[in-house]
Amino acid sequence: MKLNVKAQEPNYIEIEFMDEDISLVHALRELLVDKKDVEFVAAKTDHPQVGQPTLILRTKKEDALDTLRGALKELKKEVSEFKSELKSAKKPKSKYSETRVRGLSEEKKIENKAGSSRSTSPSQQPTSPSRSSYSVFSELTRSISLPLLGEVPAYYLLLLFLFILYILTKSLLVGLASGLLMVFIVVYEFYAGVKEGGWKNELKQTGLAVLVAVIIWFGSGMVLQTSTPINAIVSCSMRPAYERGDLVLLAGGVSRTPVYPYGGKIADINSTASVAYQNSSWTAGGSWLAYCSQHVSDDARCQAFVRQPAAFVETHGPLEVHYGSCAREEAGSDKTVATTICVTQTKFGGQAVPFDAQDDLVVYSPKADDLYARVGDIVHRARMGINTSEGLFYLTKGDNNPVYDLQAYDEKTQAGNSPVSTAQVKGHVWLRIPFIGNLKLFITPAVLADPSSLSGCDSHFAPNDR
């Protein structure tokens, strides 16, 4: 055992017990707390599992070191009596008392260390209790006492600070720092558990925690009738109703979306668009807007589309969409900051399909060869259901996107999206919890730094143009 006298005065002493658990320090504190001359005594540690225990003693009149010596003698006497009792009882020695006995053998070391501190020159004597400098790691892993919460490791408070800072700034660096800190916390907590209870115990505790999480996940999934009871929104495609970083709770099924019957096959409604303008017609991948966003400078038809979007009609089988100029409002206000082209009217089988903010927001998994499969689960509004002989399918759209998911298209890879089958739907959103979904962003840097996920975060379509 090594000792570090962190501070010493005639009536004050603070000693750190290196590479020891806190049991010896607690035993000394219990003896000192009832002494009449003791004004204050405390046993503390920077971390309950791996911190170094420290004894702090302040006396009224007597020398603090002399008082500590007296407590050590009393403790030695008690341990001696305890050992005699154990011998007569012929029982195995207590691990706890052995720890205390080993501590008593360090009495001389305490005295020598404290004496050495006293022999320093007056200019070297501390005038007030002071703490030695700590490394960043020590500061990060030490515990901080908070009202009501008790001892809280500093890294949890730092994570809370970074979480709030990210919400306020949306800084990529802050998000990445938060993710790294979360990884550090998991690794360090595991390490601390191993040091405290050994590998077997920590693996057992970790396995138990994973088992409980799995039971909760699948249990809630059974109750809510969904395979994914919790998800997070990782883009701004649903603004302003839902924000990037919202946590959403799901329930199975889709109930608040209008369903239209169709006697044909779902293959009739695909990502190939038929476009009509004046007396001409042609086809395009995904949508005419997707095509013109990449060819506005080299196709005269796209230049006409920019000037007169309402003059173009696009169909996907029985689905008919009309374009128009749509106002975009600044986030957090109703100030118009831009005007862009978007779908302004939808018809199915000649029947108008109005936008309804009460339609279900669904979470679905795109098909493996769909364009959106690159980003994982999609959280968009089910604008309509199409009941065919092959089953029920949905056409989905992000409120902050200019076109339906079916109309999104990448010419380089020639990838588009398909209508969403009921098998692809994981559930509909029944509860939104703001901000908490950012934790998913922190641990998925690829999504956090993806430019497409940040598109549209600074503005959204005006209420009449969604």
**277 and 167 in one domain?**
no
**101 and 37 in one domain?**
yes
**387 and 302 in one domain?**
yes
**195 and 118 in one domain?**
no
**Both tokens of residue 45?**
């540690």
Q: What is the pLDDT of residue 352?
A: 93
**Mean pLDDT, rounded, for 313-338:** 90
**202 and 264 in one domain?**
no
233-288 per-position pLDDT tens digit: 988 999 999 999 999 999 988 888 999 999 999 999 988 899 999 999 999 999 99
Position 146 in a domain: no
Q: Is 146 helix (H, G, I), strand (E, B) or coil?
A: strand
Q: What is the pLDDT of residue 125?
A: 47
By the 8 A CB rule, do 144 and 157 touch? Answer: yes
Position 277 in a domain: yes
- Rounded Cα gap, residues 135 and 152, in angstroms: 19
Banded pLDDT at 407 (limits 50, 70, 90): very high
**172 and 43 in one domain?**
no
Q: Are strands 312-316 and 280-285 parallel, antiparallel or unpaired?
A: unpaired
Q: Higher confidence at residue 296 or residue 118?
A: 296
**Both tokens of residue 452?**
């497409």
**269 and 383 in one domain?**
yes
Position 376 in a domain: yes
Q: What is the pLDDT of residue 48?
A: 59
User: Is the whole model's pTM more than 0.75, yes or no?
Assistant: no
Please state the domain count of the chain.
3
**Both tokens of residue 144?**
């901080």
Position 71 in a domain: yes
By the 8 A CB rule, do 403 and 142 touch? Answer: no
Q: What is the pLDDT of residue 141?
A: 85
Q: What share of the chain is helix, strand, coil (3-state, %, to 5)?
A: 40, 30, 35
Q: Structural domain of residue 252, as residue ranges?
A: 232-465
**38 and 125 in one domain?**
yes
Per-residue pLDDT at 318 exceeds 90: yes
**Both tokens of residue 76?**
């030695």
Q: Higher confidence at residue 153 or residue 101?
A: 153
**330 and 203 in one domain?**
no
**Mean pLDDT, rounded, for 191-220:** 89
- Rounded Cα gap, residues 397 and 417, in angstroms: 11
Q: What is the pLDDT of residue 375?
A: 84
**55 and 109 in one domain?**
yes
Position 104 in a domain: yes
- Rounded Cα gap, residues 384 and 419, in angstroms: 10
- Rounded Cα gap, residues 72 and 89, in angstroms: 25
Ramachandran angles phi, psi of 295, nearest 5°: -135, 20
Per-residue pLDDT at 99 exceeds 60: no
**61 and 203 in one domain?**
no
Position 138 in a domain: no
163-189 per-position pLDDT tens digit: 999 888 888 888 889 999 999 999 998
Q: What is the pLDDT of residue 133?
A: 43
